Amino acid sequence: MAHSTVSRLLPQSAAQVLLTVVVLVIGYRVTIYIYNIFLHPLRKFPGPLTSAASNWPKIRASTRGDGVFRVVDLHHKYGEVVRTGPNELSFSGNAAYKDIYGHKKAGQRTLVKDPKFYGNPSGEYDIVNGNDEQHARMRRVFTHAFSDKALKRQEPLFLLYVDKLVAKFKELSAKEPERKFNMVQMYNFTTFDIMGDLTFGESLNMLEDTDYHPWVAAMLPAFRFAVYVHVIRCFPLLELFMLKYCISKSTIETMKTHKKFCVDRVDRRLEQKDARPDIWGMVMETEGSVDAGLTKQEQYSNANLVVVVLNRWLSGREFMIAGTETTATILSGITYYLLTNPSKMSRLIEETRSKIRNEDEIGIERLQGLPYLNAVIEEGLRMYPSISYGLARKTPPGAPTFIDGREVPAGYQPI
């Protein structure tokens, strides 16, 4: 009798427990939304209520690839400062950019890098995601390899691969006169070959093969996956769960293979100890030894980074290919806008042919003297930036931080 009574009660009790949990979760979320809209320290900043209440509008736009367009639309509607998330403010003014990312004077507080954006699950740091002290130390080591003097010494290597790109166009066009080229791929082949040579002392031969190197083919999807990583980091408990239980063995093996590729080639390059004008050669010239400024792990981490990020230092200064996916993106954008604006293309061709009479005259110094070419590059960087979303910072603890004349409380994310 007792057993029968318990059997009848259990389903009802389970349903009640489930209902209670659902009500509590909904109540908790509604409470958070009300707080974010009406009581939050950022409540006075303009923006849609949905963005103030929750990160979901931002997450939805990011995963659809519309994140940047959403922010632009919000600025058109609300002005130079918009609350794009519960804890995030987007600034569009020039002064704000300097306040957020610019060098600080002595005594001024620096906005720290937001770990949700820069954090590395492996705990390894490089020149981009390291703190101010780590960044300054690594930058001192690498700065000589990215100076104007270094660029001049590296110029023959750049020209070598640009010539290979042109030769490949001619070769394939001769075989198939009606052939159409995927310019994004061709630029990627070129930039990865250049940075492979600059970083590891050996080309990846992608231009030669007109195909992606297996290592690069495995790495490119990571650029898209990074969006989902940032989404997951909006939910710390979910991030912990996924890191522990949801990363497949094949993904882990791919990560190990990628790291081993960098490690093997950095070690091989450092063992050569020759005077090639590549990154490690110039670091060794000035530091005496790479080990004088970087730990072995930092050498490996930065070698990986150099291939995918560090090129940003160079891409806006000269029309010389000096990076990988980011630079290929910029070049693709510039090519697209020139082809869709024939008058601008004609003006660029006219300037180039009037100042450069033959291929032997093509070089950094001569290209710097072409004002319209440099204007095209600057406009391309503005219209088609390879990193179009703000690099997240956090306002430092303590007193509020002033950004473009506006007071932002401590612990929030201006971009």
362-397, pLDDT tens digit by residue? 888 888 889 999 999 999 988 888 776 777 888 888
Q: Say whether pLDDT at 157 is over 70.
A: yes
Buried-state track 294-318, b at ≥16 Cβ within 10 A, e below 16: beeebbbbbbbbbbbbbbbebbeeb
pLDDT tens digits, 35-66:
999 999 999 999 999 999 998 998 888 888 88
Q: Which two tokens stand for residue 66?
A: 């519309």
pLDDT at 223: 67
The whole-number average pLDDT for the span 238-248 is 70
Whose CA is closest to 337, among 375, 367, 368, 366?
Answer: 375
Alpha-carbon separation of residue 95 from 102, 176, 394 (angstroms): 10, 52, 17
pLDDT at 333 over 90: yes
Reference 231, options 413, 25, 56, 74; nearest CA is 56
Distance, CA of 58 to chain centre: 18
pLDDT for residue 317 is more than 60 = no
Mean pLDDT of 205-228: 78
Instruction: Determine the 3-state secondary structure of 369 from DSSP.
Output: coil
The overall average pLDDT reported for the chain is 78
* Residue 245 pLDDT grade (very low, low, confident, very high; cuts 50, 70, 90): low
Give the pLDDT confidence score for residue 98 in this predicted structure. 84
Cβ burial, residue 325 (10 Å; 0-12/13-18/19+): buried
- Banded pLDDT at 311 (limits 50, 70, 90): very low
Contact 365, 355 (CB under 8 A): no
At 57-104, the pLDDT tens digits run 988 888 888 888 899 999 999 999 999 999 999 998 888 888 888 777
- pLDDT confidence tier of residue 401, bands split at 50, 70 and 90: confident
The residue-averaged pLDDT of 185-207 equals 85
**pLDDT at res. 313:** 30
201 dihedral zone (left: phi>0; alpha: psi -120 to 50; beta) = left
Strand partners, 112: 394
Q: List, in order of start, the domains of the chain with CATH numbers.
A: 16-114+396-414 (no CATH), 139-383 (1.10.630.10)
Long-range contacts of 380-385 (CB under 8 A, 24+ apart): 380/330, 380/333, 380/334, 380/337, 381/315, 381/316, 381/330, 383/333, 383/337, 384/329, 384/330, 384/332, 384/333, 384/334, 384/336, 384/337, 385/330
> Exposed, middle or buried by CB within 10 Å (0-12, 13-18, 19+), for 328?
buried
